[in-house]
Amino acid sequence: MSLAQALDLARKSNLDLVEVAPTAVPPVCRLLDYGKFKYEQTKKEKQARRSQKLALLREVRLRPKIGDHDFDAKLRNIRKLLSGGDKVKVTIWFRGREITHPDIGWKLLQRVTEAIKDQAGIDRQPTMEGKRMSIILTSFPAQKSRPKEEVKLEEVKETKEEVKKES
């Protein structure tokens, strides 16, 4: 249809002529209410933004002389933050002469990573920043359990067949 005919048809039906695919030969146009179209587009964009989860960087502070119970409480807090989808920055604060023993902080960070290795991985290796030593942890993406279940079912079927053959 020619451009003049399309514009005439758009005026008669009280709609707008919108070019959808300008690179196509000939260009593709549609008759629609442009205001309504723009409103629906912004609505879709808002919905898409709402469904996205931003990974925040949360911080958990430890001291080199932390007790076992306090360490366990901090570890539970780290697990909770990681399960919420956030990145966690574990920081060891050195005060006074504690800074002369960074190996204690290093061992503490290794203890943290060892305790949560099933749930998270290291995003940034331990670094010394002034009187602080820190590491950033990121949770693993959720793994699908369906293939594992299917494998188990197949193994069960095979074992049942083997038992029938033997008897």
Task: Indicate if the pLDDT at residue 155 is higher than 80.
Answer: no
Task: Report pTM.
Answer: 0.55
Alpha carbon 95 to its chain centroid, in Å, reads 35
For the stretch 18-75, pLDDT in tens is 888 888 888 888 888 888 989 999 999 998 888 777 778 899 999 999 999 999 999 9
Whole-angstrom Cα distance, residue 45 to residue 47? 5
Domains of the chain with CATH codes: 3-51 (3.10.20.80), 57-139 (3.30.110.10)
Q: Whole-angstrom Cα distance, residue 107 to residue 79?
A: 19
